[in-house]
Structure 1
Amino acid sequence: MRKWIIPNMVFILLLSGFCSLGSERKAKKNKQEEKRPGKYEQLFKGKTCTTVSSDFMTLHKVDGKLYFEMPLRVLGREMLLASTVAKTSNNMAAVCGSTPNAMHIRFVLEDSTVQLRTVASTMTANLENERMKQVMKQGYGDPILFGYKVLAYTPDSSAVVFDVTSLFHTDIAQLSPLAKMTGRYDVQGHMKPAQSRLGEIKAFDDNVSIRSTLLYTVNVWYSIIPVLRQVAVTLEANRTLMLLPEEKMHPRLSDSRVGTFLTDKRYIPEEGNDIRSYSYIHRWRVEPKDVEAYRQGVLTEPVKPIVMYVDTDFPESWKEPIKKGILRWNKAFEKIGFKNAIRVEDFPTDDPGFDPDNLKYSCVRYVPYTHENAEAIVRVDPMTGEILNAGIFVYNNVTWALNNWRLLQTAQLDPSVRTKKMPDDIMSESLEYVIAHEMGHCLGLMHNMAASSAFPVDSLRSVSFTRKYGTTPSIMDYARFNYVAQPGDKGVKLTPPDLGVYDEYVIKWMYTPFPDASSVQEEAKILEAWVDEKAGDPMYRYGREQDRNRYDPSALEEDLGDDALKAGDYGIANLKYIIENINDWIEEDVSAEHRKQLYSNLTKQYERYLMNVLYNIGGIYLNQVKEGTPGEKFRPVPREVQKASVNWLLRQLREGAWLDNRDLVDRFGLGIPASWRVRTSVLNALFNRAACVTLSSHLSDDPYTMNEFAEDVYRGIWASALEGRASTRTDRLMQRTWLSKSRMPVSYVGGNRFSLQSAASAYAVTPEESWVYNLEQGHLTEEIMERLWEQGLENIPHVRQPEAEWTNFGHGYGWQGEVNSKVLNNEDVYFYKMVRECRDMLEKKVLTAPEEDRPHYRAMLLMAQKILIERK
């Protein structure tokens, strides 16, 4: 028994030793494995690494590469990624402080890849309905732009790490810091990724920012004229990645009778009805801090005020008027129950976290460049239209524009502006107005070019009226200064109001909170009723902005009053007064360069008065009108006004020699008289109104016809020959221009340019659904409307639009596009008729006219005969 025990004890002891040794080796091995770095640590071990971190996310800059360490909890969240120009080597190519592009995105983890997807936010549906949720998922998902391989998880598996260097060093159009336009210039740029590099990185609670130095080769064009070609431009761009609010702002539906910026949407009804269009307005989230006090009518501060930061680089004398211009709008917010809704602060000097190039901050920036302007830009949450960021850019030479406006529009009455440099108080007053206008855009207001037409012209000469209303019901118009006021109208206000009645009305409509409203639609009913109350009152009328196609003469920029002829007479009388005295007013101008620039702008001002009248010819007043409220959607300018406008215009062109003031222009050196250039330009524009005359006459019960228009122009231009008097040099210039412009339309006589088929092709609809048919029917089918939308013709004024959506009136607006009326046009017939009449008249005049006129008439006769022969 004992013999057996002893050997077994030895065995057990030996076995224990081996086990102990194995455990030690295993423990040692485990210890070695613990010391070995994992994938996360390996990304940064032995490398130059800069790391910044916040509650949002962590950034790592490692050996020229950028890594996002993104928590799993923010994957799938909506974000805004935008580029801001922090520094530039050329302000013509890129404006410092501008944020031209932004992307609405989210990052999504799929297997071992993080996808960057743009958020599809235009199409909407009732997502509480499971079927509609599936429809949206299948048909309107978020498109994938890029994919990034997951390189590691953090040790606690709460975040993923991926390399995003290419996102910031690749020429991605949606993220480019280059705008397509800066000021008046078109910009095209190509990045050089190999020469670009990363800069400083920062992390904040709700955003991160990444600086990059980017190299571009840039071309800049002014219209078709190259200004810069293949120029090297270096930018420092700040890219902000910002979390969008999880708790979305209560959106507000648009009304096309109120001029606000919009985010367009389309709704898919679960019942299977037509897809509907609607829009959300752009506005800040202005909510009362004390809701109960607000309900009781007590002024209350907003939960989050709108804060604008003012650049410390501005000239000292500019800072106060800039701040006053911004804060003007607080008066409108006070009328709806908010105090201190807008605050203004200088760029902080003691806040290391402040960065004017970060999307978190809304800034007013100084741009040291020659552009004579100021501009505004906003960035919104595309889901709701909430304004998240706004910026105002004030170019250095805005003061030159203000000097010009004040002198050329008010010097007849205000001796203080008759100088090379405006007095400080005048400049401050003018700059304050410009900033207030731009701040209106930052609050979400569009231009309202119809505002100034609400005032009778002679009211602008009234002291009491102008003291109360200024020059316009809205500073969002381009009303500028009071060029109607005459030298004897002492005490008349020469500037726009601080805020017009329309401006206060729109702020009320946009920003009044409805704490007790249960839905967006319930709000919309209240707001629609407010607009209904003002319908038909010109003080509250919104006139959409027109671009190349001017149909509505009551919605023009740079005009005043309800009668362009009368306002033009007053304005031209003032220009004559100014041109006679400008040599005496402008001192210290030995080279006459300053006076030359003023004179150039004076001729443009004169031409603007003429063009304001020209747009009466073939004009159509356009309004957004809801059925059952006052007003007409479209109304042609009365025949007698169109006829008077043609006669007024031709008279001004014949009598325009005052513009060539020899005592002034001879100081500028050799050049073509300005009156010649203006006549040619305006006559060309007059001939181009033929299509508008055709359309307007087709819509009128008492039309100013193409035949009458052609005859009026012909008889006005050839008056000297028809009346048997000697011609002037101006007569001869206008007659030669008339024949030259007649050549093209006459060449189309008998052709198929205006056939039904060509018009149908222009609209991409069938002949039986062409312009005339639908004009007579007063509507277009939904299918055709879709096609017209693709052509940019969604706002044809005489076509009944689809039913208003979502209980509010209208779902938006845009620029007034061109109305293609080719099928109606027959001006070629009337030009042909008038050229034949002209030829017959000239055949007699070459024999009976004064001897000095006969060479001119012989040449014009030959020209007329040639035009008619070419037609044969």
Structure 2
Amino acid sequence: MKKTGILFLAAILWFSALQVRAQSLYGGFFDEIKGLVTAKSDFITLRCTTDKLWFEIPVKYMDREMLIASTLSDISSPSFGDIGNKAKPPMHIRFTLQDTMVHMRQINTRFTTDFARQALERVNTDPILNSYPVQAWGPDSTSVVVEMTDLLLDNPAFFDFFKQEAIAAAAPTFKKESSWFDEIKAFADNLAVKSVLTFSVTSDAGETPVTARVTRSILLLPEDKMTPRIADSRVGIFTTDKLRFTDRLDGAKPYSVANRWRMVPSDPQAYARGELVEPTKPIVWYIDSDFPELWKAPIRKGIEDWIPAFEAIGFKNAIQVRDFPTPEQDPDFDPDNLRYSCVRYLPSSVSNAMGPSWVDPATGEIINASVIVWSNVIELINKWRFVQTAQIDPRVRNKKMPDDVVTESMRYVIAHEVGHTLGFPHNMGASSAWPVDSLRSAAFTQKYGTTPSIMDYARQNYVAQPTDHGVRLTPPDLGVYDYYAVRWTYRYLPQFTDEWDEQATVESWVDAVAGDSVYRYGRQQMMRYDPSSIEEDLGDDPIRAGDYGIANLKYILSHLEEWITDDADYLHRLGLYTELNGQYLRYIENVMINIGGLYLTQVKEGTRGEAIVPVPKATQRASLRWVMDQYRNMDWLDNASLKRHFPLGVSGSSDVRDKVANDFKAQIVNVVLSSYYSDSPYTVREFMDDLYAETWANVLARRASTAGERALQRTMVAMFTEPLAADSGSSEEVLQEFTSRSGDRFGPAGMGFQSEVNISAIDDSAVYLIDLAVRSRDLLYQAISRSRGEDKAHYQALLIGLNDALKDKL
């Protein structure tokens, strides 16, 4: 026999002996282990004690795609984590068997190709996360046993449940001796392991023990992959990003697929005939039994508000809502398992809600979603409704919102968050499609609400005046844009072979409505450039909307003490007053963004619309005058009667002025960028001249100053001298230092956010600020000679500051 044949025979005999040994080992492997608990399934069988865990993985599931995730089930303090939340996205994994080792690999799906697949795979292999020795083989070598204790009785980085802000100062120390496995469950396509984990968190306040119960689940992904849909940047959709290697084009090309649930008709023939058909996989929501009873009905309605949009594209019962089943009704139910999508209740002082979803990274198919509702969202609802609608709605003029207001507000909150779980990000540009005065019309608002999309941050109708009877005060149940987004995302197209084949068709749907503001997607901005795509605004004209809103705030403030009673310590009124100040600041900021503003729209060549349109010069100038007027005249916030009852502190106007001053500095950058894009620009020089004229309006008119004007002048002088604040260096170095600070970047813009643009190469604003400092100094020399009393002292102080900043520099 040849040497190679001998070696091959020896290998077969060795492997056979190993199998015999492993099979005999399997038979007695668990016999001596005390306290062993088993959860058996055709997928992965689990066996555990309090401190050890084993997986028995059938060989047939090697190389199958899975998601592995961690959900926080219980915790000793809400400061450290959110119950029901997956703080880290589920990881896309597969197990592979190599000799006597099982490797857990992270699947790499970012890169795709229509040629040279093997070459691509060689440079993008799936990395090994962990390796586990085979401890036993199952009967007939159809399964392997590996110990998974180290993975699931700890808090590795990709499972980490801690709120990062809570542990920013120190990493938690894991205490294995105080941790254990609590419960295991195994099913036909998933499993769940619950672990009790204890940590010690050290901070300046000392050592804090933290104990958490976490659920780790693994879900088997389907082998028949959903057909992806190529994302279109003109449609608001969460995406999974890819890089495509193709011989049809030169170079690798980035693209994105839409994150969406699998929506396939159970009867394709009936669907093709235009009949309503149930999907093969409906989206099923479970509502937490811990919610207050009053909240449960509006939560259900908020979810069901999306059903008509799916019916409009041929799917009935596409979304189903169920209560949490009792153990008797369904002993297998576990809200923390990836198998279930749930609306969860979190008792906490956090005033918020959120709606994350989790996808198969290969296709963008949404596999699981959660809506997390913190209990204190009710306080947020209370404040929103009061400061935005109390001028017209007597129901909200109470310390506690009546049930009907709570239910209609809660319905909106849930519908918005469920929209996120369907794949839809914030569409901050939607509300700008409606004319401001239409929001005062009962007929218009009853039909359309406050915005074309519930995914906007268009809260309540703060434009409506006390005399506008019958006006709707809330966003729509679902807006015109929302129906369009569902249609684009979920319409079933069986006639196409793949995502590239259907791309032209789905793109044509967007082409057909291009240029129509109702269907425009205005993405959320990290740095605000576009005044038509911002949070907490209404209508197409921020100045007009602001005037209406401020009139309402003045009316509300004048009645605050009268309307709110049973508040002996004035704490509730203080909370509403603080919210009212914040609402007023929003109105000012909404107009401020007009200054140097750029209307931004995703536009495809050959369709209607322009990608970048600077706000007209006249509008920018009017906005500057409006903001300056508000700055000078916001003393109405300082209600003397309320101030006597509030804790010691500065007036509301002082706080708002301070925030507006910071906004002014940020707006200079926008003016630079906007003038760069405009054919008829509001130049930096013109902006600075207007700033100078508005700042010193009373001095130039030779009249005494008001308290508001003095506050404005102190703010502006500080801003004028900022480029001169460097301790040393030439004037050129000083200018470069100021310019470089105005050019920070957050990174490239994605489909979901508009990030900051680096303008350092074109930013000469420091030159004009220094010029304003010089002109202001010269003006104050003249003003002091003809002033007396408070004005003279004020101008002298400003002049000393200007001289100090300009010394040895001019």
Q: Deviations over 1:84-143 (max 9, x none)?
A: 1111111121111111222111111111111111001101113xx5xx232123100000
Local SS of the residue matching 2:134: strand
Secondary structure of the structure 2 residue equivalent to 1:824: coil
Query: Which position in structure 1 is the counterpart of 2:282?
Result: 305
Instruction: Spell out the pairing of 1:442-841 with structure 2 (5 A cutoff).
Output: 442-547=421-526, 549-747=527-725, 750-752=731-733, 793-795=747-749, 813-841=751-779
Q: 1:844 offset after TM fit, Å?
A: 1.2
* 3-state SS, counterpart of residue 751 of structure 1: helix
Matched, 1:332 2:332: no
In the alignment, which residue of structure 2 is the partner of 1:96? Answer: 83
* C-alpha distance in 1 between matches for 2:776 and 2:23: 96
What's the counterpart of residue 77 of structure 1? 64
Question: Partner residue of 2:117?
Answer: 133
Match of 1:294 among 271, 289, 293: 271
Counterpart CA distance in 2 for 1:426 and 1:117 is 51
Q: SS of the counterpart of 1:235?
A: strand
Residue in structure 1 matched with residue 184 of structure 2 by the alignment = 201
CA deviation after TM superposition for structure 1 residue 753, in Å:
6.5
Hey, what does 2:4 align to over in structure 1? none
Quick one: which amino acid aligns to residue 502 of structure 1?
A: Y
CA contact (8 A) 1:660 1:675 kept: yes
- Stretch moving more, 257-266 or 49-58: 49-58
State the one-letter code of the partner of 2:350.
H
- Choose 496-505 or 665-674, whichever is displaced more: 665-674
Cα–Cα, structure 1 residues 569 and 63, in superposed 2: closer, same or farther, change >3 Å? closer
In structure 1, the residue matched to 2:100 is: 112
Instruction: Give the alignment's TM-score, normalised by structure 2.
Output: 0.93
Instruction: In structure 2, give the amino acid aligned to 1:750.
Output: S
Q: Does structure 1 conserve the Cα–Cα contact (< 8 Å) formed by 2:238 and 2:752?
A: no
Paired residue type of 1:296:
R
Relative to 1, partners in 2 of residues 1:219 and 1:265: Cα closer, same or farther, differing over 3 Å? farther
Equivalence for 1:348: 325
Give the partner amino acid of 1:362.
Answer: S
Q: Distance in 2 between matches of 1:47 and 1:172?
A: 27
Instruction: Report the CA distance between 1:616 and its aligned residue.
Output: 0.8
Q: Which letter maps to 2:748?
A: E
Amino acid in the other structure paired with 2:548: Y
Q: Counterpart of 1:44?
A: 30
Question: Could you tell me how far apart the structure 2 residues matched to 1:646 and 1:840 are?
Answer: 24
Offset from partner CA, 1:174-203 (integer Å, 9 cap, x none): 122234469x99996453344321111110
Q: Distance in 2 between matches of 1:440 and 1:625?
A: 24
Q: Tell me which amino acid in the other structure corresponds to 1:51.
A: T
User: SS at 2:265's partner residue?
Assistant: coil
SS at structure 1 position matched to 2:713: helix
SS of the counterpart of 1:871? coil
Q: Matches of 1:67 and 1:42 in 2, distance apart?
A: 15
- Tell me: CA distance 1:346–1:656, structure 2 relative to 1, closer, same or farther (3 Å): same
Preserved contact between residue 181 and residue 187 of structure 1 (Cα < 8 Å):
no
Deviations 1:317-360 (A, max 9, x none): 11000000000000101111111110100001111001111110
1:230-253 Cα deviation digits (max 9, x unpaired): 532111000001111111111111
Match of 2:9 in 1: none
Aligned to 1:381: 360
Q: Tell me if structure 2 keeps the 8 A contact 1:754–1:822.
A: no
Distance 1:409 1:229, change over 3 A: farther
2:804 matched residue in structure 1 = 866
Contact 1:109 1:115 in 2 (8 A): yes
Q: Which residue of 2 aligns with 1:771?
A: none
Asked if the contact 2:428–2:521 (Cα under 8 Å) also holds between the matched residues in 1, the reply is yes
SS at match of 2:359: strand
> 1:173 maps to which residue?
157
Q: 1:712 to 1:43 in 2, by over 3 A?
A: same
Task: Give the Å deviation of 1:272.
Answer: 7.9
Secondary structure of 1:209's aligned partner: strand
How far apart are residue 218 of structure 1 and its match?
A: 4.2
Contact 1:695 1:821 in 2 (8 A): yes
Pair 1:378–1:230, CA change in 2 (3 A): farther
Residue 422 of structure 1, aligned match among 391, 397, 401: 401
Cα distance in 1 for partners of 2:404, 2:790 equals 57
1:436-462, CA deviations, whole angstroms, 9 ceiling, x for partnerless residues?
000101111111000000111111111
Distance 1:160-1:300 versus aligned 2 partners, 3 A rule:
same
Equivalent position SS for 1:97: coil
Q: SS of the counterpart of 1:534? A: coil
Q: Which amino acid aligns with 1:794?
A: P
- Distance in 1 (CA, whole Å) between partners of 2:495 and 2:539 is 41
| Contact persistence 2:511–2:607 (CA under 8 A) | yes
SS at match of 1:621: strand
CA RMSD of aligned residues (A): 2.3
Deviation per CA, 1:756-783, whole angstroms, max 9, x where unpaired?
9x989989xxxxxxxxxxxxxxxxxxxx
Letter of the aligned partner of 1:691 in structure 2? V
The correspondence of residues 160-309 of structure 1 with structure 2, limited to 5 A, is 160-180=144-164, 189-218=172-201, 230-270=207-247, 273-309=250-286
Q: Which secondary structure state, in structure 1, belongs to the residue aligned with residue 649 of structure 2?
A: coil
In 1: Cα distance, 2:602 partner to 2:384 partner = 32
Match of 1:177, SS?
coil
Give, in whole Å, the separation in 2 of the partners of 1:717 and 1:35: 89
Tell me, yes or no, if the aligned pair for 1:44 and 1:62 is still in contact at 8 Å.
no
How far off is 1:592 after superposition? Answer: 0.6
Structure number with greater Rg is: 1
* Match in the other structure for 1:808: none
SS of residue paired to 2:411:
helix
> Is structure 2 residue 137 aligned with structure 1 residue 153?
yes
Q: Which runs of 5+ in 2 are unaligned?
A: 1-19
Residue type of the partner of 2:74? K
Distance of 2:654 and 2:301 partners within structure 1: 44
- Measured in 2, the distance between the counterparts of 1:644 and 1:828 equals 23
Q: Say if 1:47 and 1:63, in contact at 8 Å, map to a contact too.
A: no
Q: Secondary structure of the equivalent of 1:576?
A: helix
Residues 353 and 672 (structure 1 numbering): CA distance in 2 closer, same or farther, change over 3 Å? same
Instruction: Measure, in 2, the Cα distance between the counterparts of 1:346 and 1:36.
Output: 46
Cα distance in 2 between the residues matched to 1:516 and 1:722: 73
Rounded to whole Å, the distance in 1 between the matches of 2:539 and 2:42 is 56
Question: Contact between 1:280 and 1:385, CA under 8 Å: does it hold in 2?
Answer: yes
In structure 1, distance between residues paired with 2:648 and 2:358: 49
Deviations 1:512-571 (A, max 9, x none): 101222221232211111100110000000011112x11111100100001111100000
- SS of residue in 1 equivalent to 2:379: helix
The answer to whether structure 1 residue 315 and structure 2 residue 292 are counterparts is yes
Residue matched to 1:410: 389
Separation in 1 of the partners of 2:683 and 2:281? 58
**Residue among 784, 789, 793 paired with 1:855:** 793
Q: State the alpha-carbon separation in 2 of the partners of residues 36 and 537 from structure 1.
A: 68
- TM-score, normalised via structure 1 length: 0.87
State the alpha-carbon separation in 2 of the partners of residues 703 and 63 from structure 1: 71
Change (3 A) 1:332 1:105: same
Distance apart, 1:35 and its partner CA: 13
- SS of residue in 2 equivalent to 1:667: coil
Amino acid at match of 1:207: N
